[in-house]
Amino acid sequence: MIVLSDYLVFLMVNYHDIILVSVLALGVAFFLSRGTTGEKSGIPGRLGIPYLGETLSFLLATNSYKGCYDFVRLRRSWYGKWFKTRIFGKIHVFVPSVEGAKTIFTNDFVLFNKGYVKSMADAVGKKSLLCIPKEGHKRIRRLLSDPFSMNSLSKFVQKFDNMLSARLEKLERDGQSFAVLDFNMKMTFDAMCGMLMSVTDAYLLGQIERDCTAVSDAMLSFPVMIPGTRYYKGIKARNRLMETFKEMIASRRTGKGNPEDFLQSMLQRDQYPDNEKLSDEEIMDNLLTLIIAGQTTTAAAMMWCVKFLDDHQEVQDRLREEQLSILRNKPNGALLTLEDLNNMPYALKVVKETLRMSNVLLWFPRVALDNCTIEGFQIKKGWHVNVDATCIHYDPELYKDPMLFNPSRFDEMQKPYSYIPFGSGPRTCLGINMAKLTMLVFLHRLTSGYKWTVDDPDPHLERKAHIPRLRSGCPITLTTLKNELI
């Protein structure tokens, strides 16, 4: 998710500006770097010349169809599990182990913190959960959490189910191929705007979505206010969004319509003491944060579900069996309830396995606030330590045949910190329940209502993306199951 990625992602979206200078400097970098293989810290790796380091290789990987994780994969094959590198002047250590993840997550805000990126704070706002310092973070997170608890999400489930069912039916009737990724992006966006602030007007939704995309693009851009740049467009889009949110809040306060949604639950606290409510600025920055944090991640994860199920027919058949038995036990046309979703053990394992395999967020970045050691390796103050969730999820010592899509592996309990698609510790994903429920509803409607064919098997990843997604968007055509079930 762009908002949750770090400075590294900033590098990938700005490569044009540095590519020329990088090529010229590469020869020098190579020559000078031969001696610097990490003796000081004991962590192997190539730091190269100051500033540039391995920036160019990183950008090349990001710009390829293999995706930016190829940069990490390659270095691991050269240096072993632990390695360090230098990108855009910062030393990065990729932390590959359960023990390392535990050290970082349990010391979040104490020994480690997210690196400050100016463009990110300018785009999502200084009061966003992603940018706010420790004390503010704890309070804002506590106040935001309730609407995302399992119990509070039952209305969201029904609305999402209703919207999804209607849209899938229409697509099946049309009989045309569509990209699952685009479909999911729109679905998750509309559903989240409904849940957060009850926006249903198609024009307004379109406007908010365009602006959110511009903000998201600006988060890791060069922070210069020059017309035409990503940053400029993003800041303009942010200003428009803030105006829209302000009008909504003002209108709610005059008593005009008070739907039961996230925004209303925040405004109901208007009369509470300061530490028990959010200011308008905090509400608005975090509305924007939630949309950006939730949309791309969930949409990508659902796309991977379709892809993995298509590749593993036996898993798809077993899942369909489970989902049809739920469908048969409900009145015709009834919407799913939380109870139904709690009754889908196999679908939950499919969700978990999809998240393990797809690694929607490849690694979680932090900066060391002081000199420290992780698993005996010395880390210097200011170094970036990236919890490498992908490496942990593909570790054969933790997962047998890690590259095999096998939901049944989750019959067994996982070792602490070995399964971390939503992170861990004080910054664990706030939308964890919402994401899981959304994926379960999606799997239910898709497999109990339809079969599908994937119309383009291209396995390549989107270029210049920080979230792994198929460049084809995974186009499919649906066929109804109704005729088979009669």
Which residue ranges make up the site for ligand HEM (CB under 6 A)?
1, 4, 129-130, 141, 192, 289-290, 293-294, 297-298, 301, 355, 360-361, 364, 421-423, 427, 429-431, 434-435
Radius of gyration of the chain (CA): 23
Q: Which two tokens stand for residue 322?
A: 């489970």
Q: What is the SS3 assignment for 305? A: helix
What is the secondary structure of 54-114 as a DSSP string?
A: THHHHHHHHTSTT-THHHHHHHHHHH-S-EEEEETTEEEEEE-SHHHHHHHHHTBTTTEEP
Q: How distant, in Å, are the alpha carbons of 260, 301, 352, 410 from that of 346?
A: 32, 17, 10, 9
Q: What is the SS3 assignment for 451? A: strand
Contacts for 78 with CB less than 8 Å, ≥ 6 apart? none
Nearest distance from C-beta of residue 319 to ligand HEM, angstroms: 18
Q: What is the SS3 assignment for 222? A: coil
Nearest distance from C-beta of residue 428 to ligand HEM, angstroms: 6
How far, in Å, CA of 332 to CA of 451, rounded? 20
Nearest distance from C-beta of residue 36 to ligand HEM, angstroms: 29
Annotated binding residues for heme, written as ranges, equal 429
DSSP letter, residue 41: T
Nearest distance from C-beta of residue 38 to ligand HEM, angstroms: 25
To the nearest 10 degrees (0 to 180), the angle between helices 280-311 and 180-197 is 150
Annotated binding residues, written as ranges, equal 429
DSSP letter, residue 474: -
Nearest residue to 449 (alpha-carbon basis) of 160, 170, 177, 178: 170
Question: Nearest residue to ligand HEM, using CB?
Answer: 431
Give me the half-sphere count of Cα atoms (radius 13 Å) on the Cβ side of residue 263: 27
- Count Cβ neighbours within 10 Å for each residue of 105-130 and write b for 16 or more, e otherwise: bebbbebbbbbebebbbbbbbebbbb
Give the type of residue at 323: Q
How far, in Å, CA of 360 to CA of 461, rounded? 12
Q: Give the burial class of 165: count Cβ atoms within 10 A of its Cβ; 0-12 exposed, 13-18 middle, 19 or more buried.
A: middle
Backbone angles phi, psi at 332, to 5 degrees: -55, 125
Give me the half-sphere count of Cα atoms (radius 13 Å) on the Cβ side of residue 330: 17
CB 212 within 8 A of CB 295: yes
CB neighbourhood size of 352 (10 A): 18
